[in-house]
Copies of this chain bind each other. A is one copy, B any other.
Amino acid sequence: MTFLKIFLLFPLLSLAFSQETFTSHLLPRPLIIEYPENTETNFRELEEEFKLHCISWRFSVEANNINPWKTIPQECAEYVKDYVTGRAYGFDLERVSKEAGVYAKAIELSGDGKDAWIFDIDDTLLSNLPYYADHGYGLEVFDHLEFERWVEKAMAPAIKSSLKLYEEVLGLGIKVFLLTGRGEGKRKATIENLVNAGFRDWHKLILRAPDEQGKLATVYKSEKRNEMEKEGYRILGNSGDQWSDILGTSMSIRSFKLPNPMYYIP
């Protein structure tokens, strides 16, 4: 930003001083010294305006007020990049897991093996940030095939704070269900990735069957939760980065929405 300011100030100042030479005798004008101040103010205002706009956009996304959306707003590209690569994203992720952990520890468990917690996988347990770093952090339209190649690599790192919550939940004796929108064909790569990232001892890993590929995530995940309930499970908690992980029917007693300003799954 400083560079940009200097870059744009230079021609302004050149213009100002060149005019000073040729036309200073013609008109009463304010002191030239005012130019830099105004320019800086304008830049700050503009910067402030963009930030307000992008923060407001992100809030609307996290509160599920904007949907559906396919790419992040062009003018928020830098903001989203700064957010996910800076400290704030990690801060927010940690807080969600911390709140979930406080809740989990306070639950009076039945101890009959039917206490359950659902975790989504992508950008809930495993981070696809390395993939999105190569795809404009949500600025590019989602490329299904390209993303599948990334999944096959099984190289997504763990979201540290989610791994911590995962282990706390397991430690309490709650059964862990992994419910993902990934297709059944990705089971092997998914298990490999999860294990390498430190996840273990889940009770069930649920992937989309071929005939479930066309369903909205909200519908598919609701159906799977419904099956769990029919099997007698009490869904105590549900962690996901998408509202479609959380809303629908057979909703969990408490849900935990992890931040994700990069993409939206209906």
Contacts and interface: CB of A to CB of B under 8 A. Distances in A.
Interface residues of A, number: 26
Contacts of A200: none
A73 to B, nearest CB: 12
Contacts of A87: 52
Contact of A59 (B52, B56, B67, B92): B92
Nearest to A100: B65
Given A65-B257, A256-B65, A257-B65, A60 B91 contact: no
Among A60, A67, A100, A255, the one with the most B-chain Cβ atoms within 10 Å of its Cβ is: A60
The complex is assembled from copies of this chain, and their number is 2
B99 A60 contact: yes
B92 A60 contact: yes
A152 interface: no
A259 interface: yes
Contacts of A95: 56-57, 59-60, 65
B257 A91 contact: no
Given A62-B62, A63-B62, A95-B65, A88 B56 contact: yes
Contacts of A100: 65
Contact of A52 (B63, B88, B99): B88
Interface string A49-69: 000110111011011111100
26 contacts: A52-B87, A52-B88, A52-B91, A53-B91, A55-B88, A56-B88, A56-B91, A56-B92, A56-B95, A57-B95, A59-B59, A59-B92, A59-B95, A59-B259, A60-B96, A62-B62, A62-B63, A63-B63, A63-B259, A64-B255, A65-B95, A65-B96, A65-B99, A65-B256, A65-B257, A67-B254
